Amino acid sequence: MKIAFFDTKKYDKKWFEQLKRAEDEIVYFESRLNSRNYYLVKGFEVVIAFVNDEIDSKVINGMVDLGVKLLAMRSAGYNNVDIKSANEKGLKIVRVPAYSPYAVAEHAMALLLASVRKINHSYVRTREFNFSLNGLVGFDLHGKTIGVVGTGKIGSVFIDICKGFQMKVLAFDPYPNKNLDVEYVDFETICRKSDIISFHCPLTKDTRHMVNEDTIKLMKDGVVIVNTSRGALVDAEALLQGIRSRKVGSAALDVYEEEAGLFFEDQSEAVLDDDTLMLLISMPNVIVTSHQAFLTEEALKNIAQTTLDNIKAYENGEKLINLV
């Protein structure tokens, strides 16, 4: 197979090169796939893409016209893909539904701990030999109520971690896991009763901006919000206002709703146009990481292996178990 690979990073290439078959040729492009460069797929039957590629109807129509038969997303999410156009053009789409739930769940807990124990501030201080403890008072997770939104594989692992801290766990999911020992409630109850709310659900029309001006009003004063799922679950402007009003005690974010074109890239010498992101990052009670929750060796290996297995199944005419 001749495969076009977009938005390439060193950590991606390592495992794909190790695991691909000798007869397969992968051509790596550093640029993100979009309407300005989709012509690069000419001569390729398969395209591997990522969550920040811009795969709208123009890109899909162009790729299909150039001979692309399969779009292999090396991610669980595919909200950046125009599914309707793909179906109309007969373009098959596969994804990686799970790569390492432990990687994402553990990162969520790392963000939560760093936030409530102010690890980020302590790190900066001690680098400058400032060993004062003033302003670093945190709180115990033990006994606190945490609301977990989404109880799939990642959410379930995160719940187990929370139970290890002896936290009280409330869960919300339209499709409850009957095998999970947890108390399910509606989202309004999550907002009203949780000291901490952590998101582990996909982005859909129903979950977009679950955190908004109205739901923040329902939350406890000083609530901690953790999001390692999809940025648009949280209305960033509403979150910023919640932080300014002191309603939101802190936020720990690995994703941001307008992250495309920003995250995964070195922006250290750029002047960002996104005022909301700049203000969020400047807040002392906000921690932002750059969509790195998935970034473990185990997860990267699983992503590469599942993506290549999806492509092999397509080539062999087998059932595509990860078909979107």
Backbone angles phi, psi at 168, to 5 degrees: -85, 125
| CA-based nearest residue to 139, from 219, 242, 249 | 249
Residues 6+ apart with CB under 8 A from 79: 51, 202, 203, 204, 230, 232
Q: Mark whether 107 is an active-site residue.
A: no
d(CA 95, CA 248): 35
* Of 121, 291, 297, 315, catalytic: 291
d(CA 226, CA 237): 16
Which class for 57: exposed (0-12), middle (13-18), buried (19 or more C-beta within 10 A)? middle
Q: Which two tokens stand for residue 270?
A: 């750029």
**Exposure of 11 in the CB half-sphere (CA atoms within 13 A):** 13
Q: Mark whether 230 is an active-site residue.
A: yes
* Of 54, 107, 230, 257, catalytic: 230
* Of 259, 265, 298, 315, catalytic: 259
Q: Mark whether 291 is an active-site residue.
A: yes
Amino acid code (one letter) for 150: G
Q: Which residues are catalytic?
A: 230, 259, 291
